[in-house]
Amino acid sequence: MITRKRLAAGVCALLAALTAGIAFPVTAAAGEPTGGTAPQVDLVLDVSGSMRTADIDGGTRMAAAKRAFNEVLDATPEEVQLGIRTLGANYPGDNQKTGCKDTAQLYPVSTLDRTEAKTQVATLSPTGWTPIGPALLKSAGDFTDSASSKRIVLISDGEDTCAPLDPCEVAREIGAKGIGLTIDTLGLVPNTKMRKQLSCIAEATGGTYTSVEHADELTDKVNQLVDRAADPVVTPVATEGAGTCATAPTLKSGLYTDREEFTQQRWYRVDVDPGQELRASVSVGADRAVNPSYGVLLRAVTVHGREIVRGEGAGNGRTDVISTGLRYPKADSDDEDAPAEAVCLQITNSFSAASGVKTTPGLPLELTVDVVDAPSKASDVASFGLGRGWWLLGVLILAGFVAGLLWGWLSRWRVAVWRTN
């Protein structure tokens, strides 16, 4: 007999596939791609003194970055609005307070004038400090609220030099605002501390980190990230779960983001009409150092507290995201006026922060809700995870049984013939 845990694992995989391949109607709903306003990208370039170092294909890091920018500007899709921000480009002095304010918008996020943007890039010369945190804060304000997607591409060759403003914490604060902004990071040299910091920045907003050691790699990667901004995206809708089912927000089909404190419970409500099926999945990300052995629980319960179904996921420190899912088909009713059932979704995590790690803001949470028409026939519902393939399995079992009988009979006949001879 199949266990709930095994069934939940199978359902989670199915939900992931459904989420990846879901078809969206023309009218945008929560968490669907709007596609109306141009996507926007802000390239944030480190122009600190260390960019003078000549270790990328025989040239300086600054030369490689300029070449990459020029090629990217030529290849930027027409529908993408692009801007350029610098950090460490203007102040050459030793005053840290002044140096940590050194970030400027070289070219505003707007429809691209390639000639003007290239002219601005040509003026850059490695100069000062590495204020990554302040630059990210300013860059987050370079976008318009109406952008269909927003992406920061940070290119740096070293760690932030403006402590105590931790750029990783800055990235978490940006992610916690729920503004749909992704930060991708590119490191120009293989450095353990820098890789750790840039990886943390990217993970805080669902972005990527890449180590780059050659000029061609830098050009290709930046081009890839700019092109990605032009792809249709599903923008999660920021929501705020409640502490109880009774006060929980009511969600419709869509993709939602929230923040959940360590070991906290978050509640959401979904209305399910008779003859419909609720499919839900949740992912909770460890965007900071956490202790090993943790899990996520997703429960569907009635407003009276009776559990309907649950999904569970567990980890041991080798993964940064834990996911699980569930399905609940609401039985059809002969009463055409039968009311919808309010189903409460409870999300609980068992993460615990490592020593010295901040617990705020909460861990990033992504919830997918899908309410669809339930299968009309019992045969359409998965039976032990096989769905309509159940009859095929029955045929195979029967065929195997018959083949076994025939093989046994032939074997006995051959033995009898051999003995006779």
Asked, for residue 217, whether it belongs to a domain, the answer is yes
User: Which of helix, strand or coil describes residue 170?
Assistant: helix
Residue 381: predicted pLDDT: 41
Instruction: Tell me: do 222 and 277 sit in the same domain.
Output: no
Would the pLDDT of 93 be above 50?
Answer: yes
Within a domain: residue 140?
yes
**376 or 267, which is more confident?**
267
CB 237 within 8 A of CB 255: yes
Q: Are residues 69 and 154 in the same domain?
A: yes
Q: How far is CA 419 from CA 50, 405, 409, in A?
A: 90, 21, 16
* Residue 408 pLDDT > 80: no
Contacts of 91 (CB under 8 A, 6+ apart): 98, 99, 101, 102, 127, 128, 129
Is the pLDDT confidence value at 59 over 80? yes
Query: What is the C-alpha separation between 376 and 57, in angstroms, rounded?
Result: 63
Structural domain includes residue 392: no
Residues 58 and 146 in one domain: yes
Question: 118 and 94, same structural domain?
Answer: yes
Q: pLDDT exceeding 90 applies to what percent of the chain?
A: 46
Q: Are 15 and 113 members of one domain?
A: no
67 plus 194 within the same structural domain: yes
Is 421 a residue whose pLDDT tops 90? Answer: no
Same domain, 95 and 182: yes
Number of alpha carbons in the 13 Å side-chain half-sphere of residue 361 = 18
Quick one: 217 and 321 in the same domain?
Answer: no
For residue 299, give both structure tokens. 């429960």
Domain that holds residue 84: 40-230
Q: Is the pLDDT of residue 321 over 60?
A: yes
Residue 215 lies in a domain: yes
Q: What is the pLDDT of residues 136-170, one digit of tens each?
A: 999 999 998 877 789 999 999 988 998 788 898 89
Do 258 and 124 share a domain, yes or no? no
Token pair of 100, please? Answer: 């940590």
The structure's pTM equals 0.57
Number of domains comprising the chain: 2
- Would residue 171 count as lying in a domain? yes
- For residue 292, pLDDT beyond 80: yes
Going by pLDDT thresholds of 50, 70 and 90, the confidence category of residue 10 is: very low
Would 407 be classed as within a structural domain?
no
Q: Is residue 350 part of a domain?
A: yes
25 with 69, same domain: the answer is no
pLDDT band at 383 (very low <50, low <70, confident <90, very high): very low
**Is 186 a domain residue?**
yes
**CB 151 within 8 Å of CB 229:** yes
Euclidean distance between CA atoms 203 and 190, whole angstroms: 18
At 192, the pLDDT band (50, 70, 90 cuts) reads: confident
- The CATH number of whichever domain residue 260 belongs to comes to 2.60.120.380
Q: What CATH number should be reported for the domain holding residue 82?
A: 3.40.50.410
Q: What is the mean pLDDT of residues 104-124?
A: 95
